[in-house]
A and B are shown apart, each in its own frame.
Chain A
Amino acid sequence: MKKKLLGTLLAATLVTSLVACGSAETTTGADTSADTTAAESQAPAADADTSADSAASGQSIRLVNGKIEVDEMLKEAAAKYQEETGVEVIIESMGGGIDIQGTLKGYYQADNMPDIFVNGGDTDFANWTGQLVDMSDQPWVSDTDAAYKDADGKVIGFPYTTEAIGLAYNADILEKAGIDPAGLTSPAAMQEAFETLDSKKDELGLTAVIGYCAEATNLYWSSGNHLFGIYEDGGLSRDDTTYFDLLSDGGQIDTERFLEYAKMIQLFNQYSDPALLVSGTYDQQILGFASGQYAFVTQGSWIGATMTSDDAEQYAAAGNFKVGMAPYAFLDGIDTIMTNSPSWWAVYDNDNKDASLAFLNWLAGDEGQKILVKKAGFISPFKSCSFVADDPFAETITEYTAAGKTSAWHWLGNKEGLAQNALGVVYQDYASGAIADPQSFTDIVAQVCAQYYGQ
């Protein structure tokens, strides 16, 4: 019997060591844990002079992407890159509903940091102070105005696309209704256009004038970030941060400006599709616009990708109509749309950084841009890029940019979680009628911001 027991214990030893080996394997797979990267780093260290590419063959880097809609295209780019250089790029995509910075912090805690990851703005970058690679010496830096620079002027964010936030419209429908989109630069003009469209709903085949959704659990980012951002930057010149600064200073709101803005949101509440307004979904919103049911939609240029892929069938059925963007003209004379890189990719300072930088360089070059622009529909932030996106919104963005009629956006620097934990619900309440009028909406937003910044 004792022999049996001894046998059991020895078997247990074996199992334990196997488990231990298993765990070592797991970490190799994860690639980011300190010990394995340390082991791997010995290779590049040994022949430091060889180019990153050859030293890194068989190596793999991991990129956390925040745009789940281009997941496939990025994977395609990664496959192409691996074909060319042998370096595997693992794309990990997270959707807008996931708290990406929260997840990344979890990764940091778990010692599982990706090599390249997305950062939305000042708040996000501030989470990683001192841990990101300074990319100022990279060749692509001189080729763009959209790189993210920290307070010291060091480039720490790689711009990968340009996005625009404006009041997207269906040009065909506006034309049929006899509305000139170029004239939509004042609250009165918007009001009039909405009324005209509303009266012709049946003949134009519209369900509602505008597809605006203020649902707070899943779509808080649309109302609490993008639409709130219109108050912060609408109509301002690109370097004007008056209202952003005011907000940063204890969560203050310019109530006079906000009240006018609140009236515009009221207009959206009034003319949006009731089935979408309070409890709708993003898919529903885009589908409604793509299939010609809404003349306007309160989403930015990124929906172009969805319209031409997931919703291609319905978009074609609606005649692949021309789209454009009007300013959110809540004050007389606002004639700009907002454009920016929606977020940037930063390189985590670890032993894979050379491989990561090499990959970003490749992306900024011809091969990479071809996939990003032609396939993913990105509007290139790089001046030397000769590709033009098929994206339905590419034209309108180019026009506004050429005319110098763009504002920047600064909502990325709002206090972390403001939209998710505070503002989204206020917009939802306003939409459902629980907040009755623009004045109360203004008061409550002012109160909520002050409270959130005061914490």
Chain B
Amino acid sequence: MNGLGKKVLSPILLIAGILMMIIALVLDFSGAETTLRGPMLIIGAVLFFVGLYLFPTLRYHRAIVYFIFLFPLLFTFAVTVIIPLILGIGYSFTDWTGIRYTQVVGFANYTAMFKDPAFIWSVLITFLFVALNMILVNLVGFLLALLCTSGLRGGGFFRASYFLPNLIGGIVLGYIWQFVFSNVLIGLTGNISMISQTKSALFAIIVVYIWQYAGYIMLIYITGLTQIPGDVLEAAKIDGASPVQTLFQVKIPMIASTITICTFLTLTSAFKQFDVNMALTNGTGSVPNFLGNYLSNGTQMLALNIYNTAISKNNYALGQAKAVLFFIILAIVSLIQVRMSNKKEVEL
């Protein structure tokens, strides 16, 4: 019964599914006005897959299952990542308006962005921000980890509270801090909020970033520190090593791989910083004289600059070209990371 049912059902479903998909596609191409074509296509595809699944074969059954299992995720992945990536790289060489393009302009977008001092400034402060954050977040995170593993009471509570800011989304967090800077700390800074002056605003962004991220990095360091075998520390103690010596000569070398992980984690996430930047200052801030120009986007990081170029200034092609450059920078960073972590593994 089962076998017979499958033999009949499978071809019916397959044919019905294919037919529905074809009809839906024909309707699409002919531009017919019917709301049913979308659901029809989906139902057709599902019927097709059910039919395929029930296809009476023992030899290919495994292959069919593999296909059905892989397809959904690969399909969404292709539509949301691969196709836009390829299109995006292509668009960066055209005069794309976000809707259509009329001509290919070659490298014009790329040369244009390097002639724009505001963009160069964005790139520079992004690098500065990333470098400072990488150092500070790791330092603070590591010190917090040492503190939490130093046998203080209620370690669990401290761990949880230091980690807490990491749970909050950047937009909400940015507004909370805007309140802190403009309404609470303004008493200390004398009528001028920290976030309205470029230098102090950059400092403010770093403070907020550390506040948000150090707890997370701390957790990873704690894991690294607690994985150091107890007998190694015991041996160091017997050898008469001071706590400082133990720290620098035993603990830090032992968690080298953790340090690599944390460094790159902070590196990539600091590069992509967007939400807090947008909610806190929206990129404003003045730079009196940069390459002979007065700039108004003193606190605008690269990610926000890209967004602003495309959405606010309505220059999609230029924004896309900047995004491609951003991609290249991140790709290089990631390649270095892979190189370095491979090396570390060999050493270990």
Interface, chain A (partner B; CB < 8 A): 2, 5-6, 9-10, 12-13, 16-17, 20-21, 23-24, 35-36, 38-39, 99, 102, 105-106, 108-109, 127, 215-217, 220, 274-275, 277-279, 281, 416-417, 420-426, 428-429, 432, 434-435, 444, 447-448, 451, 455
A17 to B284 CA separation, bound complex (whole angstroms): 47
Given A39-B33, A277-B191, answer yes or no on A432-B39 (Cβ-Cβ < 8 Å). Answer: no
| CA gap between A217 and B297 in the complex, in Å | 11
Decide yes or no: A434 and B39 within 8 Å by CB, A13-B50, A99-B311 being known contacts. Answer: no
Q: How far is the CA of A338 from the CA of B191 in the complex (A)?
A: 32
Do A279 and B193 have beta carbons less than 8 Å apart? yes
Question: What residues of chain A lie closer than 8 Å to B297, measured between beta carbons?
Answer: 421, 425
Contact B308 A421 (CB under 8 A): yes
Docked CA distance A130–B298 (Å):
38
Q: Which B residues lie within 8 Å of A426 (CB)?
A: 286, 294, 296
**Inter-subunit contact A109/B193 (CB<8 Å):** no
A24 and B35 form a contact (CB under 8 A): yes
- A21 and B192 form a contact (CB under 8 A): no
B262 CB within 8 Å of chain A: no
With A38-B33, A279-B193, A434-B288 given, can you name 15 additional A-B contacts, CB distance below 8 Å?
A: A13-B43, A13-B47, A17-B42, A24-B39, A105-B98, A109-B98, A109-B99, A217-B281, A279-B182, A279-B186, A281-B182, A425-B297, A428-B286, A447-B293, A447-B294
Interface mask (B158-183 → A, CB under 8 Å = 1, otherwise 0): 00000000000000000000000010
Bound CA–CA A83/B186 (angstroms): 50
In the complex, the chain A residue whose C-beta lies closest to that of B285 is A425
Enumerate B190-220 residues with CB–CB distance to A below 8 Å.
Answer: 191-193, 195-197
A10 to B51, CA, bound (A): 11
Interface assignment of B312: CB less than 8 Å from any CB of chain A = yes
- A416: chain B residues at CB < 8 Å are 313-314
A421 and B313 in contact (CB under 8 A), knowing A6-B54, A13-B50, A17-B43? Answer: yes
Given that A17-B42, A279-B196, A426-B294 are contacting pairs, would A420 and B312 also be in contact in the complex, using a CB cutoff of 8 Å? yes
The answer to whether B2 has its CB under 8 Å from any CB of chain A is yes
Q: Contact at B296–A424, with CB atoms within 8 Å? A: yes
Query: Is B311 touching A434 in the complex (CB atoms < 8 A)?
Result: no
Bound Cα distance A106, B286 (Å)? 28
Complex: how many Å from CA A5 to CA B61?
14
Say yes or no for B38: interface residue by CB 8 A criterion: yes
A13 CA / B45 CA spacing, docked (Å): 10
- A35 — which chain B residues lie within 8 A by C-beta? 33-35
Known: A99-B311, A416-B314. A217 touches B196 (CB 8 A): yes
The chain A residue with its CB closest to the CB of B189 is: A279
- Which of B39, B50, B286 interacts with A10 by CB under 8 Å? B50
With beta carbons under 8 angstroms apart, the residue of A9, A36, A435 that contacts B35 is A36
Q: Does B116 contact A (CB under 8 A)?
A: yes
Contact between A434 and B286, CB atoms less than 8 A apart:
yes
Q: Could you tell me if A21 and B191 are in contact, using CB atoms closer than 8 angstroms?
A: no
- Quick one: which of A20, A23, A99, A423 contacts B312, CB cutoff 8 A? A99
What is the CB-to-nearest-CB distance from A204 to chain B, in angstroms, rounded to a whole number?
22
Q: Which residues of A contact B294 (CB under 8 A)?
A: 426, 444, 447-448, 451
B contacts, CB < 8 Å to A: 2, 33-35, 38-39, 42-43, 46-47, 49-50, 53-54, 98-99, 116, 182, 186, 191-193, 195-197, 281-282, 284-286, 288, 293-294, 296-298, 308, 311-314
Q: Is the Cβ of A424 less than 8 Å from the Cβ of B43?
A: no
Nearest CB to that of A103 among chain B residues?
B311
Asked if residues B196 and A428 are in contact (CB atoms below 8 Å), the reply is yes
Closest CB in chain A relative to B299 CB, distance in Å: 10
| Closest Cβ–Cβ distance, residue B280 to chain A (whole Å) | 9
A16-B33 in contact (CB<8A): no
Q: In the complex, which residues of chain B have a beta carbon less than 8 angstroms from the beta carbon of A434?
A: 197, 286, 288
Residues of B within 8 A of A424 (CB): 284, 296
B348 CB to nearest chain A CB (Å):
45
Q: Which residue of A lies closest to B296 (CB)?
A: A425
Residues of the B chain whose Cβ atoms lie less than 8 Å from the Cβ of A20: 38-39, 42-43
Q: Provided the pairs A2-B2, A12-B46 are in contact, do residues A278 and B35 lie with their beta carbons within 8 angstroms?
A: no
**In the complex the two chains form, is B196's CB within 8 Å of A215's CB?**
yes
Q: List 9 A-B contacts (CB under 8 A).
A: A2-B2, A17-B42, A20-B43, A36-B35, A416-B313, A426-B286, A428-B196, A432-B197, A435-B288
Given contacts A16-B46, A279-B186, contact A425 B286 (CB under 8 A): yes
Please tell me if the beta carbons of B196 and A432 are within 8 angstroms of each other in the complex: yes
A20 to B20, CA, bound (A): 15
Inter-chain contact B50/A106, CB cutoff 8 Å: no
Give the nearest-CB partner of B190 in chain A.
A274
Shortest CB–CB separation between residue B51 and chain A, in angstroms? Answer: 10
CA gap between A20 and B313 in the complex, in Å: 36
Report the bound CA distance from A421 to B286 in whole Å: 11
Q: How far is the CA of A5 from the CA of B196 in the complex (A)?
A: 61
Q: Tell me the nearest residue of chain B to A281, going by C-beta.
A: B182
CB of A278 within 8 A of CB of B193, answer yes
Q: Bound state CA distance, A36 and B38, in angstroms?
A: 13
A217-B43 contact in complex given A278-B191, A422-B296, C-beta closer than 8 Å: no
- CB neighbours (8 Å) of B293 from chain A are 447, 451
Cross-interface CB contact of A102 among B47, B191, B311, cutoff 8 Å? B311
* A99-B312, A279-B191 given; A24·B286 CB < 8 A: no
Cβ contacts under 8 Å, B186 to chain A: 279
**Nearest CB in chain B: distance from A283 CB, A:** 12
Q: How far is the CB of A285 from the nearest CB of chain B, in Å?
A: 14
**Pair A17/B311 contact, Cβ less than 8 Å:** no
Is B54 within 8 A of A217, CB to CB? no
How far in angstroms is the closest Cβ of chain B from A124? 11
Task: List chain B residues, Cβ under 8 A from A5.
Answer: 53
B153 to chain A, nearest CB (A): 41
One of B50, B308, B313 near A9 (C-beta < 8 A): B50
Q: Write out the residue numbers on chain B whose beta carbons fall within 8 Å of the beta carbon of A423.
A: 296
Residues in B with CB closer than 8 Å to A105 are 98, 311, 314
